[in-house]
Amino acid sequence: MKNILVTGGAGFIGSAFVRTMTQRYPNYNIIVYDKMTYAGNMDNLLPVHDEPNFRFERGDIASRASVARVLGEYQIDTVVNFAAESHVDRSILDADAFMHTNSIGVYILLDEGRKHGIGRFLQVSTDEVYGSVPVGFSVEGSPLAPRNPYSAAKAGGELMARAYFETYRMDVLITRGSNTFGPYQYPEKLLPLFITEAIDERKLPVYGDGRQIRDWLYVEDHVSGIDTVLHHGASGEAYNLAGEDLRHNIDVVRALLERLGKPEALIQHVPDREGHDLRYAMSSEKAAALGWQRRFTFDVGLAETVRWYAANEWWWRKIKTGEYLEYYKRQYAARLAAAEE
């Protein structure tokens, strides 16, 4: 492993991976390849911009010619694919980009990777491919049963990755991370949206009764899990990376309000997300057997995350303009109005 292509490396988790890997492995060359959608942000890569082992190329994983050029030019031997459309609510509004990137893009990346004879290919996937898990914990052999356009398109991508292992014996690995949070997360997901809105004392739109359950994983733990699987995982295998810290959404919201010293009166229950998955829960015993262990509890991660957003308004205030405001209106205006009636 020497020249690692990190696709989607300007997003939330990808950039955290790049910030860690450039430091931890100075002898690896880290090449970020990113389309720079609304979620791609060069500010996320500022801390590594001048590192000698860091390069950036703009491009789409679904563009064959562009992928082929970068694989050849940098003599890529390893691909870690973070590139995705990642927000469930946006996938419910319009799934085109989700199919393009999360399914077709993964296929193109695999296919060009095979033609260029690359070594390891790690596909970053999600616990959402198991669908809603009413009781118990998903293990890697549990059926994939995605229930929304985002997770269905992600399942398509990882199934193709598996097909490339079975058919061409390509050295493919899959990680399935749980709900990830931490600094530099785009303020459309629950935690960064609600932290930044609460700072401005705006209403926090909780879907339905807020009794849905998510398993929370701090971003640094997600990154260390991917690093572990990349170096020690067995070819063709999938590995769950779970926080094993399950919370009801409403308790997450109460905890962040308490940390910020803001009133619970900001909570506004709004009409539920369509097809809302009630519960995600996985076991990560298999990754633990590779030596991975999460270090941050939800409470410790939340304290750090709230501190970071409070201290880094420069990062998120400029995002909350333009396209972001249009999306916010489309997603929330009618919901908030319905709730107030």
Q: Which is nearer to ligand NAD, 177 or 301 (CB)?
A: 177
* Catalytic (active site) residue 201: no
Helix 249-260 and helix 298-311: axis angle, to 10°?
Answer: 50
Spatial contact of 26 and 74, defined as CB atoms under 8 Å apart: no
Q: Which is nearer to ligand NAD, 3 or 179 (CB)?
A: 179
Q: Among ligand NAD, ligand TYD, none, what binds residue 62 when CB lies within 5 to 8 Å by partner kind?
A: ligand NAD
Helix residue spans in 186-246 (DSSP H): 190-199, 219-232
Q: Helix, strand, or coil here: 182?
A: coil
CA atoms within 13 A on the CB side of 310: 14
Q: Which of 17, 279, 3 is nearest to 137 (CA)?
A: 279
DSSP state letter for 279? B
Kindly name the residue from 112, 127, 227, 277 that is annotated as catalytic. Answer: 127
129 touching ligand TYD, by CB under 6 A? no
Answer for which of 154, 214, 222, 247 binds ligand TYD (CB under 6 A) is 214
Distance CA 192, CA 11 (A): 14
Q: Helix, strand, or coil here: 3?
A: strand
Site map for ligand TYD, 169-208, x if CB under 6 A?
Answer: ----------x---------xx--x-----------xxx-
Q: Which is nearer to ligand TYD, 171 or 197 (CB)?
A: 197
The values of phi and psi at residue 176, to 5°, are: -120, 100
- Please state the closest distance from residue 46 (CB atom) to ligand NAD, in A: 14
Q: Applying CB under 6 A, which residues contact ligand NAD?
A: 7-8, 10-14, 34-37, 39-40, 60-62, 82-86, 101, 105, 124, 126, 154, 177, 179-180, 186
In the complex, the residues that contact ligand TYD under the rule CB under 6 A are 88, 179, 189-190, 193, 205-207, 212, 214, 249, 273
